[in-house]
Chains A and B, each alone.
Chain A
Amino acid sequence: MSPLACIVRRDLLLVFRRRSDVFNTLVFFVIVVSLFPLGVGPEPNQLRAMAPGVIWVAALLAAMLALNRLFASDYADGTLEQMALASEPLFMLVIGKVLAHWLVTGLPLVLIAPVLGLQFDMPPEALAVMAGSLVLGTPVLSLIGGVGAALTLGVRGGGVLVALLVLPLYIPVLVFGAGAVVASGAGLSAQAHLLLLGASLALALVLSPWATAMALRISLD
């Protein structure tokens, strides 16, 4: 088995043995999104108008909540040190860890978001576009978040610091992601927004594993 496949398998196995962690993110997302229709009232036009923003903001916050778990336990028990000493480049292992993290925290949000969208009376095309924008956008959140999580490893109050570090970088994803859904709801083409999200994903895929690996080496120093 290649080291990349091995680390994905390892992280999924760890999550499987400690299942409560997965549900935290998902439950947070479901609760936040479900509370809005109850709080705002049953006016369908208003709900339809706010749905993209609410769902995207909730996804963004849920992704951020899960960040501190990305490297913290590996750092605490010394396995991160061993990864930094592997003969495989560290950024390959980072890609594996971020991929596993997205499968656990990002993919469930993508799958459940269309169901939650029904509460907001979203039309079917908008639901499809929303799922598409989340598929492209949530990996970007995980990738960028990895850099923040690596930089704040072992720092007291790291949770707040991570939020401050990554939020500015999350905002374009939020704007394009929610923008795509708004556009399709208004009967326009969402293509431009989705292409921009895809471009962000490509850029993040190239740059962030490398930046995360550098940040991890600094944190271990």
Chain B
Amino acid sequence: MLEADRLECTRGDRTLFRDLSFSLAPTQLVHLAGANGTGKTSLLRILCGLLSPAHGEVRWGGRPIASVREEYAAQLLYVGHANAVKDELTALENLEIGTTLAGRSCTRAAALQALEDFGVARCAQLPVRTLSQGQRRRVSLARLALGAGAENPVPLWILDEPLAALDTAAVAYLEDLIANHVKGGGMVVLTTHQPLAVTTVTMLRIDLDIQ
């Protein structure tokens, strides 16, 4: 259970939002909306614990995330603005190394399957430098498929513009993946400007424009 309690975020001398509270239980999805520059990415980074809020706190299982950092990190998958892939490494190496560094085990077969699921199995042995923007995004998102397929899946996904640069087939696949994850007891917080066709789950919409 993730709780945000009266969060306030300031960047420079500008207040992006204040008194923002919500909670997220298993099988729920939060869709953050808002124009550019309203603080969506900042809010996601606060939820991850990368950014500290000016006021308020984020709690995981009732405890502030700063006090359970490693435990919280094990329950969290964050796909940020940047793809977090190294240009010099191949897609497969990126996925394997990224997962191992995050502290999760990863077999080669599982990694290949995740790339296959995202339709980039053909590029598995190519350096990411040679891939297109959309393919890089798919490699980055393959972590989700890997996380969902693991023995004990990672419950909380925090996704920053996951649909950006993806083609329609990949968008449809990702929507399916998100819907299945939520239905299976997972939690998702995401931002997107595109309409999201995940209708079968409880969706909470937070509009930062109104804050």
Residues of A within 8 A of B (CB): 1, 3, 6-7, 9-10, 13-14, 17-18, 73, 76-79, 81-89, 93, 220-221
Contacts and interface: CB of A to CB of B under 8 A. Distances in A.
B15 interface: no
A120 B149 CA distance: 62
B97 interface: yes
B66 to A, nearest CB: 10
Interface stretch (B29-37, B69-77, B172-180): B69-77
Given A13-B93, A82-B102, 12 more contacts: A1-B100, A10-B86, A17-B89, A77-B83, A78-B82, A81-B84, A85-B48, A85-B76, A85-B78, A85-B102, A88-B102, A93-B101
B52 interface: yes
Contacts, number: 82
Contact of B89 (A13, A78, A85, A89): A13
Contacts of A3: 100-101, 103
Interface string B77-113: 0101111111111000100011011111000000000
B51 interface: yes
Interface string B17-61: 000000000000000000000000000000011111000000000
A220 B127 CA distance: 27
A3 B106 CA distance: 12
Contacts of A220: 50-51
Given A6-B97, A87-B103, A78 B80 contact: yes
A78 B83 contact: yes
Interface of B: 48-52, 70-71, 73-74, 76, 78, 80-89, 93, 97-98, 100-104, 127
Given A14-B88, A89-B70, A81 B101 contact: no
A82 B103 contact: no
Nearest to B88: A17
Q: Is the interface of A mostly helix, strand, loop or mixed?
A: helix
Nearest to B83: A78
A73 B86 CA distance: 9
A14 B86 contact: yes
Given A1-B100, A6-B101, A220-B50, A85 B85 contact: no
A85 B86 contact: no
Contacts of B70: 87-89
Contact of B84 (A1, A17, A77): A77
A78 B44 CA distance: 15
Given A10-B97, A220-B50, A79 B102 contact: no
B78 A82 contact: yes
A87 B82 contact: no
Given A77-B83, A87-B70, A87-B73, A82 B98 contact: yes
Given A13-B93, A14-B89, A79 B98 contact: yes
B97 A81 contact: no
B135 to A, nearest CB: 15
B88 A88 contact: no
B50 A79 contact: no
Given A13-B93, A17-B88, A77 B100 contact: no
B23 to A, nearest CB: 21
B101 A84 contact: no
A85 B49 contact: yes
Contact of A83 (B49, B86, B101): B101
